[in-house]
Amino acid sequence: MSVAEPAAAPATDSPAVEARNLVKSFALGDTTLRVIAGVSLALRAGETAAITGPSGSGKSTLLHMLGTLERPTSGELRIAGADPFALSERALARLRNERIGFVFQDHHLLPQYTVLENMLLPALAFGRVDAARERRGRELLARVGLEARAAHRPAELSGGERQRAAIARALLLSPRLLLCDEPTGQLDAKSAAAVVELLLELHSDPAAAATAPALVVVTHNAAVAARLGRRFELVEGRCYEA
């Protein structure tokens, strides 16, 4: 019986994520559509960055490649110095689960589970939830102001509360890379501002500075982008740092 490879060990002196000339193309009948046309960037642990650009510019596609959800057509991706696509599918899934946190425009909370149960799902993917994981889950819920909502179902939460729960869930396993795709896109202005403030507060917590992930936020909101340390703009498939 073969033994599945462990997720690649992080190299502490390497960027949390590094893209080298990433290209992504899609076949459309007899033609090829190049969405990402040679993007290179690198972010170290603790850095924050926004990716902006017009609709259809490939922002989500780029984020999905950085998160290993999409394989590039060509180019190289390194997560903590290692090539994630050299792993088996199971080992890649484990790396994605343990080292990368995702927050999407839709919260993706499962309606049949409580908020706390949704929080703990990442820990169930390759094992079981022990007391330490449940304690961390409850601590994160408290930090996002949802401690009293732990036993509620997602339908009983407001849109902003659901997104706060999704952020807490993404941080459960202390990822080295946190990727957010339009995390405020479905929220009103007040809720959006509160979510961004919370995201940055959790990321910059002095008590967790040594393990702060690299944070990448895809957004069309200029005010959100201005809150982040670095800003990249996608234009016709190419990436420019402001």
Q: Are 96 and 80 in contact (CB under 8 A)?
A: no
Averaged pLDDT for residues 62-79: 95
Q: Compute the distance between CA of residue 196 and CA of residue 11 in angstroms, rounded to an integer.
A: 29
Q: What is the pTM of this model?
A: 0.88
Which residue's entry shows tokens 């049949």? 112
47-54+86-241 belongs to CATH 1.10.10.10: no
Domain parsing of the chain, residue ranges = 47-54+86-241
Query: Three-class SS of residue 91?
Result: helix
Q: Compute the distance between CA of residue 11 and CA of residue 61 in angstroms, rounded to an integer.
A: 26
| Per-residue pLDDT tens over the stretch 163-212 | 889 999 999 998 999 999 988 877 788 888 888 888 888 776 655 555 68
- Mean pLDDT score of the chain: 87
pLDDT at 12: 53
pLDDT at 2: 31
